[in-house]
Amino acid sequence: MTSEEGKGACVTMEIGEAYRNPTEVTMSQIVLPCHSNHCGELSAGQLLKWMDSTACLSAERHAGCSCVTASVDDIHFEHTIGVGNVVTIIAKVNRAFTSSMEVGIMVTCEDLYTDTHWRVCQAFATFVARRRETGKVQLKQLTPQTQMEQMEYSLAAERRRMRLIHAEIITDLLSSSTAQLGECREYQDAVPAERTRVESVELVLPPHANHQVSTFGGQIMAWMENVATISASRLCNAHPTLRSIDMFHFRGPSHIGDRLVLKSIVNNAFKHSMEVGVCAEAYQGGEPQRHINSAFMTFEVLDADRKPRTLPRIRPEPVDGKRRYQEAIARKKIRLDRKYIISCKQNEVPLSVPWDPSNQMYLSYNNVSALKLMDTINNWVLTSEKNKVRLYTLEENQTLCFKVEMNVSVSAEQTFHLLSDLRRRKEWDRHYQACEAIMKADEDDTIYRVRTPSIRKGGKGQDFILLASCRKPCDVRDPYLIALRSVTLPTHPPTVDYNRGEVLCAGFTILEESSAVTKVTYYNQATPGVLPYISTDIVGLSSSFSSAFSACSDFLEANKDSSATSAPQTKNAANMPPLPKEL
């Protein structure tokens, strides 16, 4: 059953009435035997169908017209769901772009007999509004009302950027990583990959179509999960459990009457997990097959104690099989890097994460999202205001955060150009003794080495290896962003001349308030390496920050009409020698 009460509800609520996002749709389903596999667990394919339909209803509620699934980001299933449990799926639009929108999906489970609840998975899907007879759809924009909505709204822009470059980055990573993986190892008693190959055909009938007479995206995902499960079962001769899915990307539509050919094979088997590659192709009559979708699914096999079992090794086929085998190793490293970065506890030392081409995309996302999260906080405490520079502080999770605000009469775009090249920061910030650009990771991300003077006479200075992720706004309501965080590079280890400092989250947001005024906000989380430089300002014993940002204002004003700064001339990541595996 799907809850769509309050459709079109006003954002402004009556006194005492709880706010509810007008695009939010909730589906609750009790898991029946017909939804389960032979182990009495909810089929992952059935769950994907429910998730897709709930998200589609949310997208259509916002768009006011039919919508189709374009992609679903990586999904990690944290728990299985048994017969008799209640599954609750909540979907709401996080952000609308021109004709596409991101829908956030949260899946939880409830045991009715013990009254316990737990999270199953979270996902982000992209839906595209279908063209109307009058022309292309122009979606109305969302206005976030809560801090959580503001955060998801802001992060949706960064996730969209990741989706747009996802295929290119994965291709580059696999081509650069495959050379480092070496030849496939021959294992005695390895299972031939050909034994796990599955091919199945489905005829798309009216029950498989959505209300737009296209094949339901959730149905295609369910069929793909089915053949992938068979492949995984053939390797281990047991029932496998789906743990994660790499991004689904729908490359074309399918309709009633299509024959859908679904193919799967185990690409590689590791100690406790295996990767299954699966694709879907469609055809009608004698026409050529059309590529509809492809994905990579990771399975485990659990023993009686719900612990992962050791799996048999796989013997890949020559040529294409060996390529898939090696690419699976690269994708596994990417998944482990992503898990490490996202789950890293921010109050632990060291704070720096090793930079590597395989984790570049997720490190950049984590860098930008941390700054955006700080930008959504609204309970800052004003500590001081001098020379029109405002210093705010906030203690959160035993970490001292601070922000500095000022307004300048310089365009936001020019301010961004001047501040995004860290080599120029020493022109106004006395804490920046020297700065060199080490590597240009991609068009928007650069790694710098920054050196700062000692705060004590005769002491050592500090140096920092910083990843700077610079982002231009998606629309006029977004700020420019310059996000900074520490990383480690094997080519630049700590030296005896400097103490290696670390920055957890820092950077600038630059927002155009009018044609003549730009608001510049600087954020920093005061880690042990940063705290000595700002402690006297926090307690009101110094005005160095006021002086520094007054100098920043003067620097921006003096260069307001200068040509845009050129990009740092550094070695590109694509041409870097292979880095050692750090994770």
How confident is the model at residue 69, as a pLDDT? 92
Question: What span, in angstroms and rounded, lies between the C-alpha atoms of 349 and 502?
Answer: 9
Q: What predicted TM-score, i.e. pTM, was given to this entire model?
A: 0.80
**CATH 3.40.50.300 at 2-6+18-146+189-343, yes or no:** no
> Considering only 48-62, 324-338, 538-552, which range has the smallest mean pLDDT?
538-552
**CATH 1.10.10.10 at 353-575, yes or no:** no
531 neighbors 407 (Cβ within 8 angstroms): no
- How many helices (H) and strands (E) would you count in the chain? 8, 27
Percent of the chain with pLDDT over 90: 44
How confident is the model at residue 158, as a pLDDT? 86
Instruction: Grade residue 398 by pLDDT with cuts at 50, 70 and 90.
Output: low
Q: Which residues does 345 contact at the CB level (< 8 Å), separation at least 6? A: none
How confident is the model at residue 360, as a pLDDT? 83
Write the pLDDT tens digit of every residue in 88-103. 999 999 999 988 999 9
- 88 phi/psi in degrees, rounded to 5: -120, 125
29 neighbors 48 (Cβ within 8 angstroms): no
Write the pLDDT tens digit of every residue in 243-271. 999 888 898 889 999 999 999 999 999 99
86 neighbors 28 (Cβ within 8 angstroms): yes
Question: What span, in angstroms and rounded, lies between the C-alpha atoms of 261 and 561?
Answer: 60
Q: What is the rounded average pLDDT of the residues 315-324?
A: 87
pLDDT above 90: residue 23? yes
Boundaries of every domain in the chain: 2-6+18-146+189-343, 353-575
Write the pLDDT tens digit of every residue in 401-451. 888 999 999 999 999 999 999 999 999 988 888 999 999 988 899 999 999
How confident is the model at residue 212, as a pLDDT? 73
Short-list 294, 444, 436, CA closest to 360: 444
Instruction: Grade residue 171 by pLDDT with cuts at 50, 70 and 90.
Output: low
- The mean pLDDT of the chain is 83
Q: What is the rounded average pLDDT of the residues 211-225?
A: 89
How confident is the model at residue 186, as a pLDDT? 67
Question: What span, in angstroms and rounded, lies between the C-alpha atoms of 490 and 492?
Answer: 5
Q: Which residues does 328 contact at the CB level (< 8 Å), separation at least 6? A: 267, 268, 275, 277, 296
